[in-house]
Structure 1
C-alpha cells in the first residue's frame, strides 16, 4: 500500500514537471514599491502554487519558498513543491524583468522528484 501512495505522489510531481517544461511558465506580480521591489516568500509560494495548479489541472500543490524574491534581473530562488506522500520537486524561479513595482519571473520545475523520506 505504501508503494502505491509513493507512486501516485511521484506521478503527480512528474506531471507538474512535464507541464512546466512544456509551457515555459512565467509570471509577474505587483509588489510594494521599495528599492529594489521585493516579493515575500509567502506570496511567491502562493503564486507558484496557483500557476502550477493551472498548468497541470491538478489541485494546488504545497509550495514553500525559503526567502523573499528580490526584484533584480537575474536573481534566482529555489522553492520546493511537496506532494501528499512527502516526495518533493525543486522549482527554480528567475527574475526576468522589473517594471515599476511589478516583478516578472520565469519558473521551472526540476526534471526529477526526490522520493519521500522513509
Structure 2
C-alpha cells in the first residue's frame, strides 16, 4: 500500500528534529540581572537561531511558555510551529551557569504533532 507523501512543513519538522537529535544542540546566553534568567522571548529567538544554524533550514517559529531560570537542571518546553500548523516540542535544559551566562541543551521531539483541523 503506497504511503501518502509528507507535507513540506512536516518534512521540515522531521529534518529539524533529526538534526537537533543527531547534532545535540546547545546554546549559551549572558543575562544582565543578578539572578540569571532568560526571558521567554529571548529564549525562543535563541533556540530558533540555534536550530536554524544546526539544520541549515530557515529560522523556525518557536514559542516558549516561560522565562528560563539559570539553575542547572531547570527545563522548559518550547514549541516549534510549521506553516501548515503542525508542531514539534522542543525541550530546553540548563546544563551549566557561569556567573550571568546560562548554558543549555536543546532537544527536539522525534515526532511532530499534525495540525488540528
TM bin (shorter chain): over 0.9
Q: What number of residue pairs does the alignment pair up?
A: 114
SS of aligned partner of 1:28: strand
Structure 1 residue runs of 4+, over 6 Å off?
A: none
- How far off is 1:33 after superposition? 2.6
Partner of 2:73: 74
Asked whether 1:63 is paired with 2:62, we answer yes
User: Which string of whole-angstrom CA distances, capped at 9 and with x for unpartnered residues, describes residues 68-107 of structure 1?
Assistant: 0000000000000000000000000000100010000001
Partner of 1:14: 14
Gapped runs of 5+ residues in structure 1? Answer: none
TM-score (norm 1): 0.93
- Give the conservation status (yes or no) of the 8 Å contact 1:80–1:90: yes
Gapped runs of 5+ residues in structure 2? Answer: none
More helix by share: 1
Q: Once superposed, what is the RMSD of the aligned Cα atoms? A: 1.3
